[in-house]
Amino acid sequence: MTLFAKATQLVHRSSHYHLHLSTMTKFTGSLVGMGNPLLDISADVGQDILDKYDVKVDNAILAEDKHLPIYKELVDNYSPQYIAGGATQNSIRVAQWIMTANGKPGQTAYFGCVGNDSFGKQLEDCAAADGVCVHYMKDESTPTGTCAVLVKDGERCLIANLAAANNFKPSHLETDESKAIYESASLYYIAGFFLTVSVDSLKIIAEHSIANNKTFCLNLSAPFIIDFFADQVATALEYADFVFCNESEAEAYGKKHELGDDLKEIALKIAASPKKNEAKKRYVIFTQGSSSTIVAHDGKVEEYKVVPLPKEKLVDTNGAGDAFVGGFLAGLLAEKSVGDSVELGHEAARFIIQQSGTTLTKPCELKL
């Protein structure tokens, strides 16, 4: 069975949940995300596969030529799961999942680029089934992007082959449809992975956010983004009202910019770095897995404990950080405090790590 044929095993949900842009008169939601839509190909693997492809758990990288055989190897030898992915899209789906359960459907939209193929259709159907208004740019000549998710002992390594996702263009945001979507929103979220694709597109959204005193959120996403796309990160960071990352990314940022290795100090220094909208003090939020989450703002640091999950309940950590952001953003939109939004992020992440990837087939019990 081919990769495309096997992808049809991805679970579809009832069509009456689908929310396609073409059927909508006008998007009137409040949260817009933009990023790299990818179909996750997820499998449990041994250390031999990690060694073979020279990768480590708890890391995310862009595929090089040496990594390209991994996708076929997973399909041929590991009976993988196919799960709608892409960091930003995951966060937007989780946020909408929570809001729908709390009587707030149709609040989210998402921009990205996919191929005109079955994988792209799978991604669109999955996001729409979760209530997200997807407005993809369609690339007729490049296939939809994929991400190998290598799971070992509950920890994950991500190898992304962006393909069509790498071809998003600012022109997509200049259409009347796109403008109507992002002008409706009050909150924007973009993961750092998108900085390798189109900083100009990010700036369109971010400049709109500043001009209208809205809220712009950024995730640093991975150490390689910080190490190799430092100029792009610096550009995006000046727009950010909220900055998210995990402890590995925080350490990488501290090392790259010679800020030391104390995570609280690094968070404070990022919070105090130059900002275009000076009317809003920046929040910096570092997650640390099962350790406390750090929040820095206006010269102060607070920590929020994470309720540990019994190891026997852990399925995999893929999507944990994305889910945290999704929960946090849902909290912000419900006008919760930052502290309460952090707790909602914890609850969303706790749910996701008990699933395989960012799958939202179970009812949401989280309350806003």
Of the residues 153, 262, 322, 340, which is catalytic? 322
- Residues 236 and 198: their CA atoms lie apart, in Å, by 11
Is 322 annotated as catalytic? yes
Task: Single out the residue of 73, 65, 66, 67 nearest to residue 3, CA to CA.
Answer: 73
| Structure token pair of residue 17 | 């949940």
Which amino acid does the sequence have at 130?
D
**H or E segment and range at residue 40:** strand 38-44
| Cα separation values, 5 from 8, 11, 82, 302, Å | 6, 13, 11, 49
Length of the chain measured in residues = 368
DSSP 119-142: HHHHHHHHHHHTT-EE--EEESSS
Contacts of 311 (CB under 8 A, 6+ apart): 154
- What is the distance of C-alpha 168 from the center of its chain? 16
Contact 7, 121 (CB under 8 A): no
Contact 87, 35 (CB under 8 A): yes
* Alpha helix segments (H runs only) across 171-283: 176-184, 199-211, 223-228, 230-237, 247-256, 263-271
Q: What are phi and psi of 254, to 5 degrees?
A: -60, -40
Query: Residue 303 — left, alpha, or beta (φ > 0 → left; ψ -120 to 50 → alpha)?
Result: beta
- Residues 249 and 17: their CA atoms lie apart, in Å, by 36
Antiparallel, parallel or unpaired: β 38-44 and 81-85: antiparallel
- List residues with catalytic annotation: 322
